[in-house]
Amino acid sequence: MINNRSKIMATSTPTNRSNAIHLLVFLLLLPFAAAGKCNKDDKRALLAIKSAFNNAYHFASWTNTSACCDWYGIECDPGIAKGRVTGLFVLTDSNVTGPIPAAVGDLPYLTSLSFHKLPNVVGSIPFSITRLTRLSVLLLSWNSLSGPIPAFLSQVPSLITIDLSFNHFSGSIPPELSLLTKLLGIDLSRNRLTDSIPASFGSFPKSSPPSLTLSHNNLSGNLPPELGVPAWGAIDFSRNMLTGDASILFGAGKPTTQLDLSRNLFSFDLSRVTFPVNLTNLDLNHNKITGSIPAQINELKVNTLVGFNVSYNQLCGKIPAGPITAKFGPDAFFHNKCLCGSPLPACVKS
């Protein structure tokens, strides 16, 4: 390189020599310009993460000689403190092994943190995440994380989305999550969670609670009456062992679009409820629900409601005729105590 630079200078005219000097300065400063695209503290933290994962091939582009904002799975915002790391995405790689390193907490401008489909990422969620005061999206799904869901997540008030689905988390749902008033969605499905749904979840903002997906766990107990207060948009409690009265989740004036309570042990009188008028999916199959189907079901929007199932319950009486009940076949109604009428066999006159 020195010899090439000497040749440029020796063979140039004064005008060309000036241009050559500018070219040489550019070439000399190019590595520093690239390095300028990466804050040195962010780079140190990211290299520590790479080292903790045994320098897996996923991190091959993470080198000392390149700008970390150009690394695979890294997102930077040039408008934030001259280009700080705002996104870390480690996705779909079985060669990434070990626990999530504490160094993730050393990226203070991080707004999105995703470890997704990493079957050999194990252990618990590190406490260092509480240092991420700007974090809005926490996606730790389809891994092999275990232990309890930590209550310290409530110390990250900027969180908008928490997705811990498809892991091996166990124990109770921490009631402290209700302190996260900005949440738009919580997905804790496909884990090994036990005990009841926290009553504190009824204290989410009444007009804007998060979507709540708790399906495929081992949750049990009655629904706390406090859950009837928030105007839930979407709820999925399916495939648990929940009991008692779930009618508190219904109401024609509620904005609920999705309500899946299937495969639990809920027991209440369906004839006493009114259905949220904006429902797109209602699944109550495999419970112990009694009563009859209210005629108000046919007041829902026929083009909007795409899923409906009340099979495998203890319902009785004639299915009310109308556009909604006519839209769904017998599999949405069968295996009840004494439901009758289209699309099931006609009622027998006594």
Q: Mind listing the pLDDT tens digit for each residue in 80-116?
A: 878 899 999 999 999 999 999 999 999 999 999 999 9
What are φ and ψ of residue 208, in 5° steps? Answer: -145, 60
Cβ neighbours for 78, distance < 8 A, ≥ 6 positions apart? none
Provide the pLDDT for residue 19.
Answer: 45
Q: How far is CA 250 from CA 269, 307, 310, in A?
A: 12, 16, 15
Predicted confidence at residue 81, as pLDDT, reads 77
Q: What is the mean pLDDT of residues 209-226?
A: 98
Q: Is 270 helix (H, G, I), strand (E, B) or coil?
A: helix
Task: Supply the DSSP string of 187-250, one letter for each residue.
Answer: E--SSEE-SPPPGGGGGS-TTSPPEEE--SS--EEEPPGGGGSS--SEEE--SSEEEE--GGG-
The pLDDT value recorded for residue 1 is 36
Task: Determine contact, residues 188/173, Cβ cutoff 8 Å.
Answer: yes
pLDDT value, residue 350:
66
Tens of pLDDT, residues 302-313: 999 999 999 999
pTM: 0.88
Asked if the bond preceding 276 is cis, omega within 30° of 0, the reply is no
pLDDT at residue 16 in the model: 46
Which residues lie closer than 8 Å to 18 by C-beta, 6 or more apart? none
- Is 119 strand, coil or helix? strand
Q: What tens digit of pLDDT does each residue of 162-208 get?
A: 999 999 999 999 999 999 999 999 999 999 999 999 999 999 999 99
Domain 45-340 belongs to what architecture?
Alpha-Beta Horseshoe (3.80)
Show Cβ contacts of residue 32 under 8 Å, excluding neighbours closer than 6 positions: none
